[in-house]
DNA sequence: AATCGTTCCTGATAGC
DNA sequence: TGCTATCAGGAACGAT
């Protein structure tokens, strides 16, 4: 599942591969996943690629923006010039961009939860304003983090970490990894966290995200970036594992309706 | 305003 | 072998 590190990896690759090029035209195949407005793009220059949380923003000329949410199984492919054009007809291709250098960029979605929309500047701003601060943004300070947790007193710390309106970028995998590293149980209510625990959690959350970016994300089940698979699955300490790093057997429980792994001995 | 449960969607897997 | 039921989960939405 793409979370911040996976999305960051993809954005870096989009910068390398498609920024500076021009979209000659776009074909929308799955109208549930992608807005048919995309087909109005003709000779649109790609100015930049960035992200906020898990949302990918591709800036085009004339004040237009492609906003992409990968959700569970969304991913991009980039086929160099000379690739047979029927890549666009393959199963699960939701959108194909035909670029001026003859290469193809496709957005693929198996489970059809992902979304791609073409927005103007104001609409983009509205969409981004719904999100909390990006976890790796400078403004996401320890104090900011504390204030967020204090706003959500009754909910569990894991649910708060995953709430994109509160802070942007963390999903099911990294929430669990950060909580294990900070030795905090995912079921703990926010109001019960001490100042030291919050500081620990803040530090471990940033550390695990930075480390995962370095390894180009975690590949379990579906996630692939544009150039292959991530490597962080080899460094996971709790997610879908049987024993923690201390050799204790891990428990699995549903927290917020999601499978959650934790160590009853290391985490308090 | 915060919180909780439900829904979307399809491939993989378990069970018979 | 082949069928059916269950599970995975990010985010929007409605209800409380």
Question: What is the reported pLDDT for A229?
Answer: 78
Query: Among the options A17, A54, A115, A158, which is catalytic?
Result: A54
A19 CA → C12 C1’, Å: 31
Mean pLDDT of chain A: 92
A179 CA → B15 C1’, Å: 35
Contacts of A72 (CB under 8 A, 6+ apart): A1, A111, A113, A114, A222
Residues of A 45-104 whose CB lies less than 7 Å from any atom of strand B: none
Q: At A217, is the secondary structure helix, strand, or coil?
A: coil
Indicate if A3 belongs to the active site. Answer: yes
Whether A84 shows a pLDDT value over 70: the answer reads: no
Query: Among the options A15, A117, A146, A258, which is catalytic?
Result: A258
Q: At A17, is the secondary structure helix, strand, or coil?
A: helix
Q: DSSP states of A19-47 as a string?
A: TT-EEEEEEE--TTTB-GGGGG--SEEEE
Indicate if A2 belongs to the active site. Answer: yes
Please tell me the pTM assigned to this model: 0.94
Tens digits of residue pLDDT in A180-224:
999 999 999 999 999 999 999 999 999 999 999 999 888 776 555
Indicate if A31 belongs to the active site. Answer: no
| CB of A31 nearer than 7 A to strand B | no
Confidence of residue A1 (pLDDT cuts 50, 70, 90): confident
Say if residue A15 is exposed, middle or buried (CB neighbours under 10 Å; 0-12, 13-18, 19+).
middle
Whether A18 shows a pLDDT value over 70: the answer reads: yes
| CB of A257 nearer than 7 A to strand B | yes
Question: What is the reported pLDDT for A224?
Answer: 58
CA–CA separation, A76 and A55 (whole Å) = 13
Question: What is the reported pLDDT for A141?
Answer: 96
The pairing of strands A133-134 and A167-168 is parallel
Tens digits of residue pLDDT in A117-144:
999 999 999 999 999 999 999 999 999 9
Q: List all nucleotides in chain B with at least one atom under 7 A from a protein Cβ.
A: 2-11
CA–CA separation, A207 and A130 (whole Å) = 25
| CB of A155 nearer than 7 A to strand B | yes
A247 CA → C13 C1’, Å: 42
Terminal alpha carbon distance of chain A: 27
Tens digits of residue pLDDT in A139-190:
999 999 999 999 999 999 999 999 999 999 999 999 999 999 999 999 999 9
CA–CA separation, A170 and A127 (whole Å) = 18
Which residues have CB atoms below 7 Å from chain C, the nucleic strand? A 1, 3, 53-54, 69, 71-72, 111, 113, 130, 162, 164, 171-173, 257-259
Tens digits of residue pLDDT in A221-260:
655 566 667 888 888 888 888 899 999 999 999 998 899 9
Q: For chain A, give the number of residues.
A: 268
């Amino acid at each position: 599942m793409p979370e911040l590190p996976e999305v960051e990896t993809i954005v870096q690759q989009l910068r390398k591969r498609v920024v500076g090029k021009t979209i000659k035209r776009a074909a929308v195949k799955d109208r549930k996943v992608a807005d048919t407005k995309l087909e109005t793009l003709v000779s649109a220059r790609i100015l930049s690629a960035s992200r906020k949380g898990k949302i990918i923003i591709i800036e085009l000329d004339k004040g237009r923006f492609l906003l992409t949410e990968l959700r569970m199984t969304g991913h991009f492919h980039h086929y160099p010039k000379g690739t047979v054009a029927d890549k666009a007809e393959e199963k699960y291709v939701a959108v194909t961009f035909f670029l001026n250098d003859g290469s193809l960029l496709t957005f693929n979605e198996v489970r059809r939860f992902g979304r791609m929309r073409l927005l103007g500047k104001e609409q983009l701003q509205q969409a981004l304003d719904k999100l909390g601060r990006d976890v790796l943004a400078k403004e996401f300070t320890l104090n900011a983090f504390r204030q967020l947790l204090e706003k959500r007193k009754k909910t569990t710390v894991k649910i708060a970490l995953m709430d994109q309106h509160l802070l942007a970028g963390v999903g099911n995998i990294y929430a669990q990894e950060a909580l294990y590293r900070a030795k905090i149980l995912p079921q703990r209510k926010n109001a019960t966290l001490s100042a030291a625990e919050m500081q620990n959690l803040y530090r471990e959350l940033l550390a695990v995200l930075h480390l995962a970016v370095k390894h180009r994300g975690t590949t379990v089940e579906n996630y692939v970036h544009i150039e292959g698979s991530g490597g962080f699955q080899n460094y996971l300490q709790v997610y879908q594992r049987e024993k923690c790093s201390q050799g204790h057997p891990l428990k699995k429980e549903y927290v917020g309706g999601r499978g959650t792994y934790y160590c009853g001995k290391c985490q308090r």
